[in-house]
């Protein structure tokens, strides 16, 4: 089953938990946009609190504890036997984090609305402003559904496989660093900004385009592949794009914010 769903396909689904995961680094809070209009039946999922633990040495968006994630998803109406659809404004950056986290914790039927809310409205489909409570779900968090990397494994993969850096190229090169205290990249990592995964307007490129893109970066079938970014959000988008391309990849969940928390770890620039 494709990890993506179109607006028309979502409109035809009889029953699904729909999560609105609109989020921007630095704000404003996504819930404000949710209240202005969302897909009917959707509930707001807060990336910072529902899809991540508090920031610290493990990174700016470390994985939540299983118990905390399970409680959050049940509150949002997620159940084990019920499909889940996640969306954000357009390019699926935040939605991909929800997709990956649900998959990691064992949900087997999660899809991302391709093109997000922008595609939904362009299709002429309605919006709602109500915030009706949803019945609690019965989701059980079972960690391990998706491969993850720690810092040592990411370093090894950069040497023995392919480690993709999903951040903007200038951050990879170390020319600018607007968020983390150190600029640069993990030695041996390959620059692969997530902006190259989507078309203008936010929809993902097709499978053939993405496969050619990742193959050209060294990510080929049979070779271990991983992805990281600043805090594990856009790297989930990279993993999603790789899956669309038919390639599997591990996520360095702590990403650069975890890497630079240890001053002894090497940093490359250029």
Sequence-separated (6 or more) residues with CB below 8 Å from residue 250: 146, 147, 148, 149, 153, 157, 224, 225, 226, 227, 239
Give yes or no: 229 in active site.
yes
> What is the three-class DSSP state of 86?
strand
Alpha helix locations (H) across the chain?
Answer: 7-12, 30-36, 47-50, 66-75, 93-104, 116-122, 151-160, 169-173, 207-216, 234-244, 255-259
How many CB atoms within 10 Å of residue 67? 9
Active-site choice (148, 229, 241, 242): 229
Cβ-contact 184, 270 below 8 angstroms: no
**CA–CA dist 232, 159 (Å, integer):** 20
Joined tokens for residue 81:
């036997």
* Matching residue, tokens 């391309």: 245
Name the residue among 197, 245, 249, 208 with its Cα closest to residue 90.
197
> What is the three-class DSSP state of 163?
strand
Running DSSP on this structure, what letter comes out for residue 59?
B
**CA–CA dist 28, 178 (Å, integer):** 17
The residues that are catalytic are: 229
């Amino acid at each position: 089953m494709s990890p993506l769903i179109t607006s028309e396909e979502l409109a035809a689904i009889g029953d699904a938990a729909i999560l609105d995961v609109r989020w921007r680094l630095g704000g404003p809070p996504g819930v404000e946009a949710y209240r202005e209009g969302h897909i009917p039946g959707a509930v707001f999922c807060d990336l910072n609190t529902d899809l991540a633990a508090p920031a610290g040495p493990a990174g700016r968006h470390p994985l939540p504890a299983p118990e905390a994630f399970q409680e959050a998803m049940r509150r949002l109406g997620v159940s084990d036997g019920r499909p889940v659809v996640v969306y954000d404004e357009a390019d699926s950056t935040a939605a991909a984090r929800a997709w990956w986290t649900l998959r990691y914790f064992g949900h087997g039927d999660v899809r991302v609305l391709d093109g997000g809310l922008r595609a939904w409205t362009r299709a002429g489909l309605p919006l709602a402003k109500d915030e009706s409570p949803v019945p609690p779900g019965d989701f059980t968090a079972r960690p391990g559904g998706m491969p993850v990397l720690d810092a040592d494994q990411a370093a090894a993969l950069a040497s023995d496989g392919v480690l993709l850096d999903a951040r903007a190229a200038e951050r990879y090169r170390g020319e600018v660093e607007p968020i983390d205290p150190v600029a640069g990249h993990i030695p041996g990592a390959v620059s692969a900004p997530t902006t190259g995964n989507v078309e203008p307007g936010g929809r993902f490129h097709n499978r053939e385009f993405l496969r050619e893109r990742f193959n050209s970066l060294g990510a080929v079938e049979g070779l271990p592949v991983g992805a990281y970014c600043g805090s594990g959000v856009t790297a989930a988008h990279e993993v999603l794009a790789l899956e669309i391309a038919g390639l599997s990849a591990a996520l360095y969940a702590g990403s650069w914010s975890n890497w630079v928390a240890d001053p002894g770890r090497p940093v490359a620039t250029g």
